[in-house]
Amino acid sequence: MKSILFVCLGNICRSPIADGCAKKYVLENGLDIKIDSAGTGSWHVGEAPCANSIKVAKKYGVNISNLRARQVTKSDFDNFDLIIALDESNYRDLERLGAKNLVKLGIYGHNGADVPDPYFFKEYDGFVKVFKMIDECVSNLFAEIK
């Protein structure tokens, strides 16, 4: 495994958290794996992750403040060994676009469950729950690919 792309809807909440958790894991374990994130939509291209995502990630020692949202491209499907969707809707959108090596993050510890979009919760506690789910799944993912 040389590269992983995490994909959610707007690339400002869930996929940046997954990106940050994965990069931290890669750094701490001396792995040579390229990590990135993107969104299926273009609404937030160029924006930083939302304030609550940055805040909760920082609370758990993950810095995502330097990330900027981008939209997934078809070339990503050739450039990444594994494409990880954060929910079923993202999964279907990526499948329609032709993504290969596509899985849902929830298969790594949550029986394939969708990672809920905290953008619509607005309250900080929702972001904490989402962070913990993502962090657990990312940890389990790396345990499998080591």
Catalytic residue IDs: 8, 14, 117
Q: How many other C-beta atoms lie within 10 A of the C-beta of residue 22?
A: 26
Phi, psi of 84 (to 5 degrees): -120, 115
Which residues, at least 6 apart from 13, have a Cβ–Cβ distance to it below 8 Å? 49, 50, 52, 53, 117, 118, 119, 127, 130
Q: Which of 27, 28, 36, 29 is nearest to 146 (CA)?
A: 29
